[in-house]
Amino acid sequence: MSWMEQLVQTYDENERFAGRDGIDGMKAMLPPVGHIIQNAQIELTLSADGELIRAEVIPKECRATLIPCTPDSASRTSSPSPHPLHDNLSYIARDYYDYVKKPPRGETMPYLLYKKLIGSWAAMGGNTKVQAVYHYISTHDVIHDLIEKKILYADNAGKILEKWENKEIERPPIYSVVAGDILKSMVRFRVIVDGDDCPELWKDTRLQKEYQRFLQEWGASDAERLCYATGKYLTPTDKHGKGIRFPGDGAKIISSNDMSGFTFRGRFVDGDECLSIGYETSQKAMNALMWLTRNQGYVIDGRVFLSWGRCGQMPPPVFDDTARLTRRRRSTEEARPSSLKGWAESLTKALEGYRHEFKQAEMSQVNVMILDAATKGRLSICYYSEMAGEDFIERIERWHRLGRWRQHGYDSEKDESFVYFGVPTPKRLVEACHGENVGDSQMKLELERIFYAILQGNPLPVDMECMVMGRAVKRAACDNYYDWRRQILEPACSIIVRRLNQTKEEYIVALDETKDDRSYLFGRLIAVADQMERATFSAEEKGNRTTNAMRYMEIFSSRPASTWRTLQKKLLPYQQKREMYGGKERKLISRIGSMFNEEDFLSNRPLDGKFLLGYYCQQYAMELEREENRKKKEAMKEEDA
């Protein structure tokens, strides 16, 4: 089934939400057929008789407005083509050219086109609200009224002030919400009618249905043709929707204006011979795609990563970390897990919830799409796939299980850090490889590679693993220890352990004292060396002062045998200090050293990614031991008291 047919069916399954704002869990509204969403800056409130009651500037958070449109107005660029109700000042104001400093020449006046269109609707439908707007724009000078209401301001020459330069007087709101030409402001209408509980015309669902009937009659003269997307005979259109990724987005998926030169490469006489899509099909598909993108798409530098389920099912987000994924399905009263086992059970429970919902649905299917635009006017589908809901959830589960590692997260709602066992966000993985200041273009390319790895169940690219290991050992000597551990080391371990677990070689955060892999053992050695020195630091020094082990980590990973001899000499003063506490680090170093094959211990071959795993596991084991000792001491104090 084609991507367009899938989008049309998705729209049909969710049509009950069309035109309704404030639906729980939805960040954006699903536009009905014949409607688009644009940002309005000015709101006019009229009486039922079409007289102005109030004018105000719309706050930024309330600007999104559902606007009736025609096929031409929805895709308009430079040629005038009016929307039938809410529109820019150049369309609704008959006095527009009285205030423009340079009136255009040889152009069909937009106001007359707008007046004719809304007049046809008012005459055909007989709706009181539409008639009120028509009466107002026909008998009043809109811009003059806005100046009187202190919404717009004129200069000494009688033209509209485009920039507010008077620093002694507070800048009026309109100059804060409009970037650029003030006279390009979008105006929306409210009409107060006795007995009507919805004065906001953009929220009136009855008005939306009425406009759709008007649009059908208005375009009834067009002959129906076969729609290539659905196989039905529908009124065709060659104008397709834009604004898919964000408000003001001019890129279209379907677009063609090749009417000269190598027209259709000689294969067709006109565009209808190569493609015919019904207006209803186009509207449903593009509106559904826009709605899905803004509700659950992940957008970075214009590239959209999107997955959606059929029959109203919401698939688990691809780019969530394990903590956020499990929190979505966890009740507010349920405590956050605190152990590896607890997080594993929480993940299983969350994914079982998704599985159950997909099994209950009429169709268990997930569609996956990547969108991007090379130019401002052309939007391309870089990737599209359909898979069973169970397969999709299984891929997500493999991603979170194979790359599971101990991570430090931050809860912005509670303003506290916490520990979880799982996978960080793909964005955090990219930042671990390239740094936090990675550019958007690089970020979206790396995220696409991770996206493919997740959905196809493949290991992450080898170059990503090499890069993150190199950066981990380089930054060890430069960064604050705790920041380095959270931002680089833990994501690096997730990347490395995913590849190892993919090959059935199980690695977990718990220390494996039987593992005799050379890189793993050297990682354990440098962890103990780091702890031996760090244990002598004061509380203030522990996060900021760099140990010799961290300082030598980069060269240690390249030449471990010779560097270890140097590091042992540097450790002698700290070793003597720790002897008064039993010398447990020295004994542990001896025990780890005895596990080496002699040839491996003396070899200067570079270490692989298991080096970081061994380092982290040993550090974590010593951290647990210190915590256990602390609890024992507190218990003894309580008993003595």
pLDDT tens digits for 544-566? 788 899 999 999 999 999 999 99
Please state, in angstroms and rounded to a whole number, the distance separating the CA atoms of residues 261 and 602: 73
Q: Are strands 303-309 and 365-372 parallel, antiparallel or unpaired?
A: antiparallel
pLDDT higher than threshold 80 for residue 103: no
pLDDT tens digits for 413-463? 888 899 999 999 999 999 999 998 899 999 999 999 999 999 998 889 999
Which whole number is the average pLDDT over 285-289?
94
In angstroms, the first-to-last Cα distance of the chain is 74
Residue 181: pLDDT band (50, 70, 90) is confident
pLDDT higher than threshold 60 for residue 273: yes
**Cα torsion at 552, 554, 558, 562 (round to 10°)?**
0
- Dihedrals phi, psi of 517, to nearest 5 degrees: -65, 135
Residue 502: pLDDT band (50, 70, 90) is confident
DSSP state of 263: G
Break the chain into its structural domains and give their ranges. 31-221, 510-641
pLDDT averaged over the chain?
Answer: 88
pLDDT at residue 543, as a whole number = 67
Look up tokens 């380095």; give the residue: 484
**CB-CB contact of 67 with 37 (8 Å):** yes
pLDDT tens digits for 388-407? 999 999 999 999 999 999 99
Residue 265: pLDDT band (50, 70, 90) is low
DSSP H or E run through 383? strand 380-388
pLDDT at residue 238, as a whole number = 83
Residues in CB range of 443: below 8 A, 6 or more apart = 300, 301, 427, 430
pLDDT tens digits for 87-98? 999 999 999 988
pLDDT at residue 149, as a whole number = 93
Stronger pLDDT, 109 or 187, i.e. the higher one? 187
pLDDT higher than threshold 60 for residue 167: yes
Which whole number is the average pLDDT over 478-507?
89
pLDDT at residue 630, as a whole number = 85
pLDDT higher than threshold 90 for residue 22: no
Which whole number is the average pLDDT over 579-586?
80
Helix, coil or strand: residue 188:
strand
Contacts by 178-181, CB closer than 8 A, 24 or more apart? 178/41
Q: Which two tokens stand for residue 136?
A: 């107002």
Residues in CB range of 73: below 8 A, 6 or more apart = 81, 82, 83, 84
pLDDT higher than threshold 60 for residue 106: no
Nearest to 85 by CA among 234, 193, 188, 204: 188
HSE-CB for 489 with a 13 A CA cutoff:
29
**CB-CB contact of 308 with 257 (8 Å):** no
pLDDT tens digits for 208-220? 999 999 988 876 6
pLDDT at residue 546, as a whole number = 86
pLDDT at residue 77, as a whole number = 75
pLDDT at residue 107, as a whole number = 55
Please state, in angstroms and rounded to a whole number, the distance separating the CA atoms of residues 44 and 39: 15
Of 33-42, 82-91, 281-290, 579-588, give the lowest mean pLDDT range.
579-588
pLDDT higher than threshold 80 for residue 269: no
Which whole number is the average pLDDT over 280-288?
93
Which whole number is the average pLDDT over 589-604?
92
Q: Where are the beta strands (DSSP E) in 13-109?
A: 35-39, 42-47, 52-57, 64-68, 87-88
Q: Where are the beta strands (DSSP E) in 160-255?
A: 186-192, 225-226, 233-234, 236-237
pLDDT higher than threshold 80 for residue 376: yes
Q: Could you count the other beta carbons within 10 Å of the beta carbon of residue 407?
A: 25
Which whole number is the average pLDDT over 480-503?
92
Burial class (CB in 10 A: 0-12, 13-18, 19+), 283: buried
pLDDT higher than threshold 90 for residue 266: no
Stronger pLDDT, 424 or 640, i.e. the higher one? 424
